Structure 1
Amino acid sequence: MIDSPPPTPPARHPKDGERRFEEETAACEWAESYRPGKYHPVDLGDVLVDDRFTVVRKLGYGSFSTVWLAHDSAQDAYVALKILVAKQSGTSGKLPTEAAMYRFLEEKTKGDPNKKKTFESHFVKLLSTSTVNGPNGTHTCLAFEPTGPTVNDMLDELPEYKSQRWTPKMRYPVWMAKQILRGVLEALQLLHANGVVHGDVQPGNMLFSLKEGSLDKKTREELSSVKRTTDDDDDSDDNDSYFASPLADCAEFTDPDFNIKLADLGAAYVIDNPPSDNVTPVGLRAPELIFGQPRSVVDPRVLDVWAIGCLLFELVTGQRLFCVSGYPDEDDCNDDHLQDLSAYLGPLPDDLFSQWKRSHLYFRVKEDGTRVLYNCQLGGIPPGGEAYLYPLETLEEMFDKAAPEVSSSAEALQIKQLILRILQYDPEKRPTVTDILQDAWFTKE
């Protein structure tokens, strides 16, 4: 016997002048990810960790965690509660990588007032660690100081874009881009000086600080204004997934000296003990990582510094430098990336080109060793087909085409030269983060 479907709930009609559906651009995690080993199900009002943390608002999510604004009854203060997926949580009393790295850096900086000040200024402060048990396993909970939106999210909050989202040229004013990067570079300077690589430098891990006392001025109701992904009339407990709602109205971004904090040390590692894999977004990976060169030879200029070069271009122009599509086949993805590298930055050096196993699909090598690009079509020329060639722009041409609002052509040239100085094929020739901070573009007010 087939069960009859449940009765359809009565339709809720909008009142006069009311929009049935509000515009919403924020995303939320996949519902299918709430399964054993993955996310811990959380609802507003939940009280976690021995009745200590009361969940008020969803701030964000990532591949390995969800983040919630919660009130900490032990400190009578708000915290950003990061709940890791069960598979990434510490077991047998062992701290997860992120918490262990914070402890390591606290020990490294506590004896030096200047280092300690930089650590507290440019890193999100870890307040406590705990665990919570749920239907999907045991999850580590990391309580951090609350912060504002990520550099990705804050772009939507800039006054010039508030009323015209989806404009093709959404980017930070140059002065803001410089201040964002300065904060990140100062954070990386501290890490690298202590032999640590961040490993995941990207806009989603760069956070704006909050205005002092901004949370205290808001009521619990004002802070918990979060839209659900399901209809308000649906009382089912199976659909409690919330849109991320960063604390944009509490963040400081108009002051010329606004502060940026670097977050997520989950991929960070000590140089002497590198991991076997990396989580750096594909478009921010240095060419040597594409070929899987041993991580034992990696220094900060392979992951962190290369990413800074790409992000300098992205924040100033409003477009990604290497927009690598997510092809299912890794070879296709790498081919796309390597062709862009060759076009934007010049021919790959011989030691890298020789490792590109499908280069023959795109280049012919003459007897004298020179290479001729004869095809840009992904996957090579089909049998009996003709070579297909589309115009390839250099990095400088892409920059000028994006027409960033710099003060002068001299400043534009200065930025392009700095990007090219960072994005060198030979990692030994790339500048350190200290070198970058001393570049004329950063030292010029």
Structure 2
Amino acid sequence: MAKENVYHSQPDVERLEDYIPGGYHPTIIGDTFSNGRYTVIHKLGFGGYSTIWLARDQQHGRYVSLKILTARASLESHEGEIITLLMNSDLYHTGKQFIPPLLGQFSFHGPNGYHSCLVGELAGSTVAKSKEDSPNYMFPADAARSIAAQLILGLSYLHAKGICHGDLYLRNILLRTSNFDDLSIPKLYERFGNPRKVTIRRVDGSPSQPHAPLHAIPPMGLYTPANELYDPEIIISDYGTSFLVAQTPSPTLYTPPLYSPPEDLFNEPISHPTAADIWTLGVNLYDVLGERPLFETLSWDRDEIFGEIIDTLGKPPLRWWNSWLDRPQFSKEDGSRIDGFDSINPPAFRRLPRRLWDMGRGETEQTCEWDVAGGELRALEDLLRAMMAFEPTERPTVDQILKSEYVVKWAMPAWERQKARKRAHSTGEKD
């Protein structure tokens, strides 16, 4: 029997049913933490294991983010340890700049249990939200190439430190934002809007407190449409499910199904976790570079997703093809789609080359924003096909990806041009 809801659900806020012992801490605007050092000013976001708040650090006179983990997650999470390891490494690596600095951490008791809190640098919108806020769902072409380079460099640093991210997708990729520490709190509200309160009501009519606050707060509008971002800088965030590969013999991935590698979809042991990150990175790169996701389904059903993967990349190894019990409902014997399976996509093959033209960048060589004549689309196809090899052992390492034709000729030059513009702007301001 399904468990009855305790609270009336509300849009644009965290899952209210998790305001229970072991769940979210009932945070409200004006709350203070760490002996009054941090004052909660607004809401930045939320996830399944945390709520993230904008706070004023009274000691240093700056705005910071407070990531308050659920009590359950606080017992198991090693996120603070992972970020600390990444921050304190003496390894010189260009990708280190894409790791979020941990400014502090503390723990406290609340009505729902014992919570860990990570203090971080303020960041802006997620890459996913930025795309959603754009009328064409795309970054400018060179900005997209630059983000691709930054993602690859950041993951290269993680893997160099022996860490598998395990949950890499566009809602965990943040955009750096301008510093507004000099804004007073009233001026901040004037610019971004006052916190909006959404009343929390229990189904049985009893008071929501102490386990839930009186009001939930939708996140503030730190949004910049992707089409207006010409020099985006990213931060790879959310290490709540990341792990040290050498110390985790039987890891579990928490990647959303649309980004999961096929070995995870078929419940095989994740014996090559960094190769799983590579598959997921490939899916993300397509999404970053174009308008739409690589695999498109009406739901996040495993069978539908696997049908999309086969339609894109061809038939998988026989151990998966033969063990896929519902295959006759989704794919023909040649790997093409069953007629009428998906009202969005045609039933015929829509292989990777076709999907590259379907990215929204132009449908002919003359109208396409990519350097088609120079071989950019071909190089991108070669890279994505290698990254999404069905067998994990056949996927390239991230350092091999950095040497690929696409990265060397198109992605990295875009990132270098962006850095040059930033240096020129900084020099101009000093003059």
Bin for the TM-score computed over the shorter chain: 0.7 to 0.9
TM-score with structure 1 length normalisation?
0.76
Distance 2:332 2:356 in 1: 29
Matched, 1:436 2:401: yes
Residues 355-364 or 127-136, more deviating? 355-364
Partner of 1:122: 98
Partner of 1:29: 14
Distance 1:183 1:374 in 2: 35
Partner of 2:70: 85
What secondary structure does 2:279 align onto? helix
Distance 2:353 2:197 in 1: 43
Structure-to-structure mapping, 1:33-432, within 5 angstroms? 33-90=18-75, 96-107=77-88, 109-110=89-90, 112=91, 114-115=92-93, 118-119=95-96, 121-155=97-131, 161=134, 167=135, 169-211=136-178, 214-224=179-189, 225-230=193-198, 239-248=214-223, 254=229, 256=231, 258-272=232-246, 273-274=248-249, 276-295=251-270, 297-302=271-276, 304-326=277-299, 333-361=301-329, 371=334, 375=338, 390-404=347-361, 405-410=368-373, 411-432=376-397
The alpha-carbon deviation at position 141 of structure 1 amounts to 0.7
Q: Contact 2:44 / 2:53 at 8 angstroms: preserved in 1? A: yes
Q: Contact 1:57 / 1:223 at 8 angstroms: preserved in 2? A: no
- Point out where structure 2 has 5 or more consecutive residues left out of the alignment: 1-10, 200-207, 362-367, 414-431
Distance 1:247 1:275 in 2: 38
Q: Which has the higher contact order (CA 8 A, sep 6+)?
A: 2
Distance 1:57 1:178 in 2: 33
Give the aligned residue type for 2:387: I
Q: Contact 1:200 / 1:279 at 8 angstroms: preserved in 2? A: yes
What secondary structure does 1:192 align onto? helix
Distance 2:392 2:168 in 1: 17
Deviations 1:130-185 (A, max 9, x none): 1232222221111011112211122356xxx4xxxxx4x31112211121121121
Distance 1:372 1:394 in 2: 11
Residues 30-39 or 353-362, more deviating? 353-362
Aligned residues: 372
TM-score with structure 2 length normalisation?
0.78
Deviations 1:199-253 (A, max 9, x none): 1111111112233xx212322123243441438xxxx98542111125347x9x8
Distance 1:137 1:85 in 2: 8
Distance 1:181 1:274 in 2: 30
What secondary structure does 2:377 align onto? helix
User: In 2 relative to 1, CA 264–364 (structure 1 residues): closer, same or farther, beyond 3 Å?
Assistant: closer
User: In 2 relative to 1, CA 155–339 (structure 1 residues): closer, same or farther, beyond 3 Å?
Assistant: closer
Partner of 1:386: none
Q: Contact 2:50 / 2:67 at 8 angstroms: preserved in 1? A: yes
Distance 2:222 2:330 in 1: 48
Distance 2:163 2:54 in 1: 29
The alpha-carbon deviation at position 275 of structure 1 amounts to 5.2
Distance 1:267 1:154 in 2: 24
What secondary structure does 2:323 align onto? coil
Partner of 1:368: none
The alpha-carbon deviation at position 59 of structure 1 amounts to 0.8
Give the aligned residue type for 1:63: G
Distance 1:243 1:363 in 2: 42
The alpha-carbon deviation at position 407 of structure 1 amounts to 3.4
The alpha-carbon deviation at position 124 of structure 1 amounts to 0.6
The alpha-carbon deviation at position 376 of structure 1 amounts to 5.5
Give the aligned residue type for 2:394: K
Q: RMSD value over aligned CA atoms?
A: 2.8
Q: Contact 2:86 / 2:99 at 8 angstroms: preserved in 1? A: no
Q: Contact 1:56 / 1:223 at 8 angstroms: preserved in 2? A: no
Q: Contact 2:314 / 2:335 at 8 angstroms: preserved in 1? A: no
